[in-house]
């Protein structure tokens, strides 16, 4: 326990210190996210600070592995995240082709899933090539939607901390605590008004880490994959609903936009911090649903019904606060 406390505090300090160093370096190199008509920020802000999260987390991960506190399968399945981080960091410094980013994500997600042994929905496992491909697709979608949702100060940081700590409640595994601590150190600089953004290096890699951990816990029968789906639904509901609405309107899906629910809230006059705390409130409701599910108070269909109702209310609330604005949602 003392060792876990020590490396957790170390992770926070390393992440916070590295973010400070990166912030100074990024300003000198003009690695800035400049505001435009779609932005939720008003001044040029350094991007790519999520590299501090990744360095801190993977350093602590190596220590966990050396001390025998993490299973080798999970350790090696998380290592492809370094490749995703490298591609993301290069993209933060100099934009890469979307196709190159996508292909690299497919490659690293496939490698991680092979190490994990796939996503098993039965005791005998699932050897179907189609099922494996669908799982890789789901992983890549989650990696990208996490990137899409990183558009408000502290929002993606808050979500990852919440999911990591929620995982710890159900699994009591050290790796989830270290992930949360690495993000906390960065959040000191990313809290509204943010002095630095995590960039693709942070958002895509966090998406990868979370989905890998979710699949690992499911395969170990620690917590089933539907817990992961519920706990992360604030992000995938918003991202998926938004892309479906844009597809129905025949908008070009590769074009940048500001039509996610959290972005609409900010454009409606909600501050970044108010939007963040609204998201946290929704997450706490999701955690309660998972706890009730875990204690057999409600069945699986009841849990997902509660989630659907929760987000229908959220969606209607966003439309309500935006009513009267000259904006096509």
Q: Mean pLDDT, to the nearest integer, of 60-89?
A: 96
| 329 falls within a domain | no
Residue 34 has pLDDT above 90, yes or no: no
Q: Mean pLDDT, to the nearest integer, of 249-257?
A: 78
Question: Does residue 57 contact residue 67 with C-beta atoms inside 8 Å?
Answer: no
Residue 1 has pLDDT above 80, yes or no: no
- Report CA 267 to chain centroid distance, whole Å: 22
92-115 in b/e form (b: 16+ CB < 10 A) is beeeeeeeebeebbbbbbbbbbeb
Give the domain range for residue 144. 2-322
257: exposed, middle or buried (Cβ count in 10 Å: 0-12, 13-18, 19+): middle
Residue 154 has pLDDT above 70, yes or no: yes
C-alpha span between 133 and 312 (Å, rounded):
30
Task: Tell me the β-bridge partners of 45.
Answer: 33
Closest to 171 (Cα-Cα) out of 80, 74, 65 = 74
Question: Does residue 49 contact residue 22 with C-beta atoms inside 8 Å?
Answer: yes
C-alpha span between 184 and 157 (Å, rounded):
8
At 122 the pLDDT is 67
List Cβ neighbours of 81 (8 Å cut-off, separation of 6 or more): 54, 58, 108, 112, 205, 208, 209, 212
Residue 36 has pLDDT above 50, yes or no: yes
Instruction: Give 229-241 pLDDT, tens digit per residue.
Output: 999 999 999 999 9
C-alpha span between 100 and 109 (Å, rounded):
14
| 73 falls within a domain | yes
| 291 falls within a domain | yes
| 216 falls within a domain | yes
Looking at the 3D structure of the chain, how many domains does it have? 1
Residue 157 has pLDDT above 80, yes or no: yes
Residue 279 has pLDDT above 80, yes or no: yes
At 319 the pLDDT is 84
Residue 125 has pLDDT above 70, yes or no: no
Whole-model pTM over 0.85? yes
| 328 falls within a domain | no
Residue 37 has pLDDT above 70, yes or no: no
For residue 146, what is the enclosing H or E element?
A: helix 129-148
C-alpha span between 3 and 235 (Å, rounded):
33
Q: 193 preceded by cis ω (within 30°)?
A: yes
Closest to 67 (Cα-Cα) out of 110, 150, 7 = 7
Task: Tell me the β-bridge partners of 33.
Answer: 45
Residue 257 has pLDDT above 50, yes or no: yes
Identify the top-confidence range among 44-48, 106-110, 117-121: 106-110
Instruction: Give 204-229 pLDDT, tens digit per residue.
Output: 999 999 999 999 999 997 789 999 99
At 41 the pLDDT is 66
């Amino acid at each position: 326990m003392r060792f876990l406390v020590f490396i957790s505090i170390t992770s926070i300090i390393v992440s916070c210190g590295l973010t400070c160093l990166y912030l100074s370096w990024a300003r000198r190199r003009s690695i800035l996210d400049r505001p435009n008509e779609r932005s939720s920020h008003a001044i040029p802000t350094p991007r790519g600070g999520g590299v501090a999260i990744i360095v801190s987390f993977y350093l602590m991960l190596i220590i966990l592995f050396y001390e025998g506190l993490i299973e080798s399968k999970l350790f090696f399945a998380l290592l492809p995240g370094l490749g995703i981080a490298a591609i993301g960091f290069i993209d933060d410094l100099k934009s890469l082709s979307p196709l190159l980013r996508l292909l690299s994500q497919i490659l690293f997600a496939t490698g991680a899933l092979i190490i994990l042994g796939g996503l098993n929905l039965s005791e005998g496992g699932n050897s179907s090539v189609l099922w494996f491909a669908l799982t890789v697709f789901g992983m890549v979608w989650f990696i990208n939607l996490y990137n899409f949702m990183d558009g408000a100060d502290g929002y993606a940081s808050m979500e990852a901390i919440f999911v990591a700590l929620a995982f710890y409640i159900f699994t009591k595994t050290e790796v989830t605590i270290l992930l949360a601590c690495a993000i906390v150190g960065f959040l000191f600089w990313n809290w509204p008004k943010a002095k630095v953004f995590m960039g693709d290096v942070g958002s895509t890699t966090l998406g990868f880490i979370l989905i890998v951990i979710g699949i690992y816990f499911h395969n170990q029968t620690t917590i089933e994959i539907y817990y992961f789906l519920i706990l992360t639904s604030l992000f995938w509901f918003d991202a998926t609903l938004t892309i479906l609405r844009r597809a129905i309107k025949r908008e070009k899906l590769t074009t940048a936009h500001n039509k996610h629910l959290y972005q609409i809230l900010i454009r409606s006059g909600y501050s970044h911090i108010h939007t963040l705390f609204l998201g946290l409130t929704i997450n706490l409701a999701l955690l309660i649903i998972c706890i009730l599910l875990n204690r057999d108070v409600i069945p699986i269909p009841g849990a997902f019904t509660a989630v659907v109702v929760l987000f229908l209310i959220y969606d209607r609330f966003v439309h309500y606060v935006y009513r009267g604005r000259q904006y096509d949602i």
